[in-house]
Amino acid sequence: MTFIIAIDGPAAAGKGTLARRIAETYGFHHLDTGLTYRATARALLEAGLPLDDEAVAERMAQAVDLSGLDRAVLAQHHIGEAASRIAVMPAVRCALVEAQRRFSARSPGTVLDGRDIGTVVCPQAPVKLYVTASPDVRARRRHDEVIASGGVADYQTILADVKKRDDRDMGRADSPLKPADDAHLLDTSEMSIEAAFQAAKTIIDAALNRN
Ligand code: CDP
Ligand code: CDP
């Protein structure tokens, strides 16, 4: 049986960093589900299509190829912004969730990170982590990432954007961001990447022993 690890949480909480490390350690397949929303948004933008036509966006979502997702190509700020706008549409979510569920069944195990993995995509996952950090800490991390890659960033602008994204993700009617009832909460505000990984590993090892 496939072993699924579901990781959810807000932007820049450290989900992706943690998910990649876990996948590497346990030899599991990893899917950053945010990229599926970003790829759909990018395809619409590239084709010059509107972001508010649900039927058009649904067709783009159905055509997303999970093997061709590249964070470097999809990282741009305007793509993330467009992704969070189309992510409120039920038809888009339905198409992407179907592809994500197929991915989650890969053997011997999978790690999926996003906003609704433990609540909607894989509610049966034996391990659910809800990774969070304060908005200030998350904005600081995003800011430092941009500076480290040689870009220009304004902390206050990034903080406002993080809060706007949180409101949209937590406030939407379909699959809002929230911890599953059986999720382990991991607040990484004061935690190093290593400390967060060790905390997750303890939880995963206990669940693997039970299964
Ligand atoms: O930029 P950030 O890391 O916050 O976002 P992302 O993980 O790349 O996801 C971009 C957007 O896709 C998010 O703001 C969500 O609105 C949406 N998303 C979602 O609705 N459900 C998921 N499972 C993953 C992402
Ligand atoms: O995937 P998500 O948007 O939740 O976040 P991420 O891309 O994994 O992490 C955002 C940034 O925070 C990265 O630059 C990480 O290196 C950093 N980070 C950190 O400083 N401390 C942690 N405990 C986790 C992540």
Counting the structural domains of the chain, the total is 2
Task: Give the closest residue to 58 by CA, choosing from 78, 44, 71.
Answer: 44
42 has pLDDT over 90: yes
Distance CA 19, CA 119 (A): 17
pLDDT band at 144 (very low <50, low <70, confident <90, very high): very high
Please write the tens of the pLDDT for every residue from 92-132.
999 999 999 999 999 999 999 999 999 999 999 999 999 99
Tell me: do 114 and 202 sit in the same domain: yes
pLDDT for 166: 93
Query: What is the residue whose two structure tokens read 């948004």?
Result: 41
Has residue 48 been placed in a domain? yes
Q: Which of 84, 121, 167 for mutating ligand 1's site (highest number of atoms within 8 Å of CB)?
A: 84
Please state, rounded to an integer, the average pLDDT across all residues of the chain: 96
How far apart, in whole angstroms, are the C-alpha atoms of residue 178 and residue 115?
8
- Give the pLDDT confidence score for residue 118 in this predicted structure: 98
| 18 belongs to a structural domain | yes
The stretch 184-210 carries a mean pLDDT of: 97
The band of 63, judged by pLDDT with boundaries at 50, 70 and 90, is very high
Whether pLDDT at 211 is above 90: no
Q: Are residues 98 and 201 in the same domain?
A: no
DSSP assigned state of 67: G
Token duo for residue 1:
């049986």
Can you give the residue range of the structural domain that contains 165? Answer: 1-28+110-206
**Which residue puts its alpha carbon closest to atom 24 of ligand 2?**
14
- For residue 10, is it within any domain? yes
- For position 1, what pLDDT does the model report? 82
Q: Looking at the structure, tell me whether residues 41 and 82 fall in a common domain.
A: yes
Q: Which ligand is nearest to the CA of 88?
A: 1
Model confidence at 43, pLDDT cuts 50, 70, 90, reads very high
Q: What is the pLDDT of residue 186?
A: 98
Whether residue 103 is contained in a domain is answered as yes
Considering the domain boundaries, does residue 115 fall inside one? yes
Any atom of ligand 1 within 6 Å of the Cβ of 40: no
Q: What is the CATH number of the domain that holds 4?
A: 3.40.50.300
Residue 22: name the closest of 150, 211, 186 by CA: 186
Same domain as 192, residue 122: yes
**Cβ(14) to ligand 2 under 6 A?**
yes
Please report which residue ranges of 47-154 form alpha helices under DSSP H.
54-62, 71-74, 77-86, 90-104, 135-148
Could you count the other beta carbons within 10 Å of the beta carbon of residue 64? Answer: 20
Q: Confirm whether 211 is domain-assigned.
A: no
User: Is there a single domain that holds both residue 37 and residue 100?
Assistant: yes
